[in-house]
Amino acid sequence: MTETFVIAQGGGPTAVINQTLVGAALEARKRYPRSRVLGARYGVRGIRDGDLVDLSALDEKELRAIAATPSAALGSTRDKPDAAYCETILKGLRQAGATAFIYIGGNDTAGTQQILAEASGGDIAFVHAPKTIDNDLVENDHTPGFISAAEFVAGAFVSVDLDFRALPGIYVGIVMGRHAGFLTAAAAAWQLDGDSGPHLVYVPERAFSPTRFVEDIREAMDRHGRCIVAMSEGVTAEDGRSVVEGLVPPDRLERDAHGNVRLSGGDLGMSIERLINDGLPGIRARVDTFGYLPRGNISTTNATDVREAFEAGVFAVDAASRGGGSVALQHENGVTAPRLVALGSVAGKTRHLPADFLLPEGNQVSSSCREYLERLLPRRFELARPFV
């Protein structure tokens, strides 16, 4: 029997998404020696447009090199297909002779697979393979891409804290994360001691008050002589709107094709800098927006992340043989392994930072969060306690 696997990548690239692509491609070729493995360029657009790459034609050495390369080798898309769009995708899959479609991405990607599975009539297996630096997929202990991005964030905040010990002041680092604060919380993973930054952590799961923010910084400055802040780009005000919507004039707000306020630019950073300068004038302050830097950084690609992303791709082929579903990385008895869950368990849902991962004040992570981060991001260096 000849199997035809179509694989696509959706959403934001990561440092290890190509490991999942190659894990699936190699496993499909191993399990089904006569199989075809096709890669769709630019996500489901490639299926719709018949823009496919024959991954069966590449030797293992070439595929392994692709696996070790950050970003999405096939290209990606943020399209959120509706029922009509999915009909064109199904048509493209059938024209390609697909027996299985593996789509690597986040909860929107799982949503697309659920729509396709329900409309297909069962002649194609639809598998969602996990990927997101936001770490916000339900059913998953953590997601491929998160650990590598978190290592970038953790290292950056250790470094900037040491910088501001030497030249005291206020530092705010704005980290990606529209709805979930896991990546921002990772800023606290490698703190050296109780005096270490980040001294304040603000995430979308807790309402943000500009007035309280200035007071929090003032208190941290009094206690530590400096203040290091980790802030999610998706922090929200008490009315549920993103903070950037309340700080930036409406005519300056940018929105994407889905109507979401653009969070990754400099508007939030400039607004936060103004808050600090107005509330705490005369203190050295710096606000940086990390933007896309953490998500596919080749210098912080984590070995565990690499292995788990590859294993997720391998498991996706097995999931296809079982009729499809969503691959989830679950942690039990000290071991993380992929499991198969229903697409409906993941599609369109957001996993938030657990309530007990934050202190009651909502501006710092708890011991439970530190334990979780220490398990995923064991510190790989020893540093001396500075004299200052």
Catalytic (active-site) positions: 134
Number of H helices, E strands in the chain: 12, 11
8 close to 18: Cβ distance less than 8 angstroms: no
Task: Give CA separation, 37 vs 5, 23, 43, 314, 349, in Å.
Answer: 5, 12, 15, 13, 30
Residue 207: strand pairing partners: 236
**Could you give the strand order of the β-sheet that contains 4-9, starting from the edge strand earlier in sequence?**
52-54, 36-40, 4-9, 100-105, 125-130, 324-332, 335-341
Taking the C-alpha atoms of residue 348 and residue 362, their distance in angstroms, rounded to an integer, is: 26
Considering Cα of 69, then 152, then 347, then 87, what sign does the dihedral take? negative
198 close to 379: Cβ distance less than 8 angstroms: no
Taking the C-alpha atoms of residue 356 and residue 365, their distance in angstroms, rounded to an integer, is: 9
175 close to 157: Cβ distance less than 8 angstroms: no
SS (H, E, C) 215-280: HHHHHHHHHHCCEEEEEECCCECCCCCEHHHHHCCHHHCCECCCCCECCCCCHHHHHHHHHHHHHC
Taking the C-alpha atoms of residue 349 and residue 355, their distance in angstroms, rounded to an integer, is: 17
